[in-house]
Amino acid sequence: MTPENEAATRYFDAIASALKGLEIFMRDDRSPLYRHGIVAKIVAEYIARLEKSFSSWRNRLGFMESFRISRADSGFPLFQNLLELENDRRQAPKRLANIPEPGMLRSEMADFILRHKEFPAALQKTMAERLYLEDIKDGETFGPFTLAQTAKVSVNPKTMRPYYLVHWASFDGTANLPLIYMATVEDSSEPMISQLVDDNGKINSRVDIPLPVDGLLNPELAHRFDDFTEKNSAYTLSPATIASNLDKDFETLHPKQLRRVVLGPFYSAGITENNSTVTEVLSKVRKPENAWLLTWTIQEVFSKAEKPGRKGLWSSEKATQEFFINTDDLEAARQGVSSYEKHALIPHEAYQALYAAGEAQKIFSGYKVHILSKGQVISDV
């Protein structure tokens, strides 16, 4: 194994352990997100996509020479890897048609060993490529952009409007960070109100809504909404900016809340260089699979009031939202949010190393720390 592939193997072991730990945290009934069951469920779906992507990239090393990550910043793969994975997924059926079946490849490998008395490296690469393509062809990976889904539909009894919980995801190509978005949006379009809301201000029980629904539930706005989310999911845009743009661009859609989960940075001993102190301490952790630290941030902006629209003879204005930005918190104001939470997940052995080095308090200042130990996550340490 080359030094590069050895480093990649250590990286994949570490990120697999981190994502598995994050999945455990999401399912823990003591988790802050567990109180919002549907939020934890949505985030878990995207974590599963990330796990599938990393598993596929690991398989890809069997026939490709290199894999590049953002070592100095996010600790996640470079955006180019996602583009290549998406391209491979689309071409998978065509490429698989030109590669022999696994059984035939195994027979050829056995025959090669018997005849040449050496390892069939070329055939092994072909087999690795086949397994990789079979693994990704279903499309359940974390792509450059994942189209929106409507996960929940309800009615606001005050406004008598239906509202949707919609989620989507993107991988920011500049910051190299996975981003997960969730928005609660009221819909004031007359066709949707008449179809979804009954006389008692509840969801019309005669309408069958097979959730989750791909795209925004409103079919007249679904394509426009997809275009909007794809153009307004950059990490450089604050949640307040995205929510305001959504409010401005759609006359009958009224965003009441926008939540963004920013996964990363990720720190891995001997691989990432995004924090010299963390890197130095993690390098002393005995087991490489425990020498990592995963951070994430949950950002939220919500509407504190709605300014009523007006219709006049010569001009009209749509109803607009007044989003609350917590200016008493300088960091919240900088992020453009009503509130935010910073989380850190770390294996017990790595936390002990940071604590023994006297670095834990400084590194985790402002974070909610969660320790992974023996398949369980301990929070509030």
**Which tokens in the block code for residue 316?**
């009209």
Q: How far, in Å, CA of 344 to CA of 295, rounded?
A: 4
3-state secondary structure of 155: strand
Per-residue pLDDT, 5: 67
Per-residue pLDDT, 211: 92
Alpha helix positions (H), the chain:
3-27, 37-60, 79-97, 102-116, 121-136, 190-196, 222-231, 239-249, 276-282, 330-335, 348-356, 360-363
The CA-based diameter of the chain, rounded to the nearest angstrom, is 89
Per-residue pLDDT, 84: 94
Q: 20-53 burial, b if ≥16 CB within 10 A, otherwise e?
A: ebbbbbbebeebbbeeeeebbebbbbbbebbbbb
Per-residue pLDDT, 16: 94
Per-residue pLDDT, 108: 86
The predicted model scores a pTM of 0.93
Per-residue pLDDT, 48: 94
Per-residue pLDDT, 243: 98
Per-residue pLDDT, 88: 94
3-state secondary structure of 204: coil
Per-residue pLDDT, 26: 83
pLDDT in tens, the chain (381 residues): 455 667 888 899 999 999 999 988 887 766 666 566 788 889 999 999 999 999 999 988 888 777 889 988 999 999 999 999 999 999 999 999 999 898 888 888 888 888 888 888 888 889 889 989 998 988 789 999 999 999 999 999 999 999 999 999 999 999 999 999 999 999 999 999 999 999 888 999 999 999 999 999 999 999 999 999 999 999 999 999 999 999 999 999 999 999 999 999 999 988 888 888 888 889 888 888 899 999 999 999 999 999 987 775 555 688 899 999 999 999 999 999 999 999 999 999 999 999 999 989 999 999 999 999 988 888 866
CA angle centred on 26, ends 22 and 31, rounded to 5°:
110
Q: How far, in Å, CA of 164 to CA of 140, rounded?
A: 24
Per-residue pLDDT, 34: 55
CB 177 within 8 A of CB 79: no
